[in-house]
């Protein structure tokens, strides 16, 4: 899945800023992908981009209109169709990561077919993947893993890619979920892949590369989440990570969506390492990445100092300090 850039970010009728978090993510990590934003009359979000209509966006070079908004149902809204249709008419592709597909909206499907445009439904893999071979590939790979779902794995991966590139190194973020795909313009939603092919999909996503190139693979789920640990296992095995980063949200009291406790950090690291070493015996942890947004500065720093001593690894909050200390460790591998 390779989405053409640059983008016009469609904020639609977002009822608040949080509803536009996909657009926010694209703007934050890749402002250079964004020519502008499209807001409908009743839009309550603003990504601080130039407001454009479809004609202005086309003139500014936009190749794809990206739906960067989720309404309450997470579906394509009827109110959006006229704008999406106009984008197709004027020469753009469409991309979205919602529950229902752009390509299942008959009007959009027919228009795209007639005009030869692409509809990217990034939640829904279209490619066939092989069964994983388990064979070692050249190049280096780092994978954030988590004590839970949604605890900072994508943010950490994007921050690591950015830091390596800023230092003049070679790195590619490899998206494994819909938001990451829309942010980076490529990837595969591994949780939507048929289970037999998850590891093979990740092998395909992060292929052999130059010896000093880092694939920064987006992690998913948690080995301790009773709903999704199978996805996590397949992802770890296909990734063959040389380096792991443990991601953790320290104020969470139970796993997302289920009545299960958050695992102990040492226990979580031990199991992730055990799984990772099946396909890469040299796998090791290089750091801990915390999401301390719910803590005061003082509490966050105290916790980080404590974890650093306890686990003997650099501990960062990418949002507070960046991931320099983790990238130092990667450089030393």
Q: Which x/- pattern over 277-306 shows residues binding a second copy (rule: CB under 8 A)?
A: -xx---------------------------
199 binds a second copy (CB under 8 A): yes
Q: Are 266 and 253 in contact (CB under 8 A)?
A: no
Q: How far is CA 129 from CA 98, 143, 236, 272, 290, in A?
A: 22, 20, 16, 24, 33
44: three-class secondary structure by DSSP: coil
Residue 123 C-beta: closest distance to a second copy, Å: 10
User: Which residue stretch of 42-50, 71-79, 103-111, 197-205 sits at the interface with a second copy (rule: CB under 8 A)?
Assistant: 197-205
CA 247 to chain centre: 14
Q: What are the strands of the beta sheet with 34-39, ordered from one edge?
A: 34-39, 7-12, 64-67, 93-96, 119-121
75 binds a second copy (CB under 8 A): no
Q: Which two tokens stand for residue 2?
A: 């390779």
Whichever of 42 and 133 has its CB closer to a second copy, that residue is: 133
Kindly state whether residue 191 participates in binding a second copy, applying the rule CB under 8 A: yes
Burial class (CB in 10 A: 0-12, 13-18, 19+), 82: exposed
Q: Which listed residue (131, 166, 309, 331) binds a second copy by CB under 8 A?
A: 131
Q: Does 74 bind a second copy (CB under 8 A)?
A: no
* CB contact at 8 A, 66 and 95: yes
128 touching a second copy, by CB under 8 A: no
From residue 204 to residue 223, the character string flagging contacts with a second copy as x (rule: CB under 8 A) and all else as - is: -------------------x
Q: Is 224 in the site for a second copy (CB under 8 A)?
A: yes
Residues belonging to the chain: 333
Nearer to a second copy (CB atom), residue 219 or residue 234: 234
Q: Judged by CB under 8 A, does residue 198 bind a second copy?
A: yes
Residue 101 as a binder of a second copy (CB under 8 A): the answer is: no
Q: From the CB of residue 294, how many other CB atoms can be counted at a distance below 10 Å?
A: 11
* Among 40-48, 78-86, 110-118, 225-233, the segment contacting a second copy (CB under 8 A): 225-233
Site for a second copy in 237-256 (CB under 8 A): 237
Q: Among candidates 115, 117, 91, 90, which has minimal Cα distance to 102?
A: 117
Distance CA 218, CA 158 (A): 8
Binding site for a second copy (CB under 8 A): 131-135, 190-196, 198-200, 223-224, 226-235, 237, 257-260, 271, 274-275, 278-279
């Amino acid at each position: 899945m390779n989405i053409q850039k640059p983008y016009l970010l469609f904020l639609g009728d977002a009822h608040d800023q949080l509803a536009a978090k996909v657009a926010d993510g694209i703007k934050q990590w890749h402002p250079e992908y964004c020519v502008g934003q499209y807001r409908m009359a009743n839009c309550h979000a603003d990504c601080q981009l130039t407001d454009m209509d479809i004609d202005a966006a086309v003139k500014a070079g936009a190749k794809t209109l990206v739906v960067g908004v989720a309404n309450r149902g997470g579906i394509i809204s009827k109110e959006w169709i006229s704008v999406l249709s106009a984008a197709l008419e004027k020469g753009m592709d469409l991309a979205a990561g919602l529950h229902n597909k752009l390509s299942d909206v008959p009007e959009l499907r027919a228009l795209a077919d007639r005009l030869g445009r692409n509809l990217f439904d990034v939640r829904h893999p279209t490619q066939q993947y092989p069964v994983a071979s388990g064979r070692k590939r050249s190049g280096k790979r780092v994978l954030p893993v988590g004590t839970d779902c949604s605890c900072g794995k994508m943010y950490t991966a994007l921050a690591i890619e950015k830091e390596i590139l800023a230092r003049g190194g070679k790195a590619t973020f490899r998206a494994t979920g819909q938001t990451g795909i829309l942010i980076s313009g490529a990837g595969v939603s591994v949780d939507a892949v048929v289970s037999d092919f998850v590891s093979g999909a990740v092998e395909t996503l992060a292929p052999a590369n130059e010896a000093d190139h880092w694939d920064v693979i987006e992690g998913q789920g948690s080995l301790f989440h009773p709903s999704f640990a199978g996805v996590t296992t397949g992802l770890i095995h296909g990734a063959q990570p040389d380096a792991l980063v443990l991601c953790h949200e320290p104020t969470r009291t139970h796993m997302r969506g289920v009545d299960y406790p958050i695992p102990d950090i040492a226990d979580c690291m031990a199991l992730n390492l055990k799984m990772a070493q099946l396909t890469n015996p040299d796998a090791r942890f290089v750091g801990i990445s915390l999401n301390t947004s719910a803590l005061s500065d003082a509490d966050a720093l105290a916790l980080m100092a404590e974890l650093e001593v306890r686990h003997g690894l650099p501990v960062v909050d990418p949002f507070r300090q960046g991931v320099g200390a983790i990238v130092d460790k990667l450089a030393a591998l």
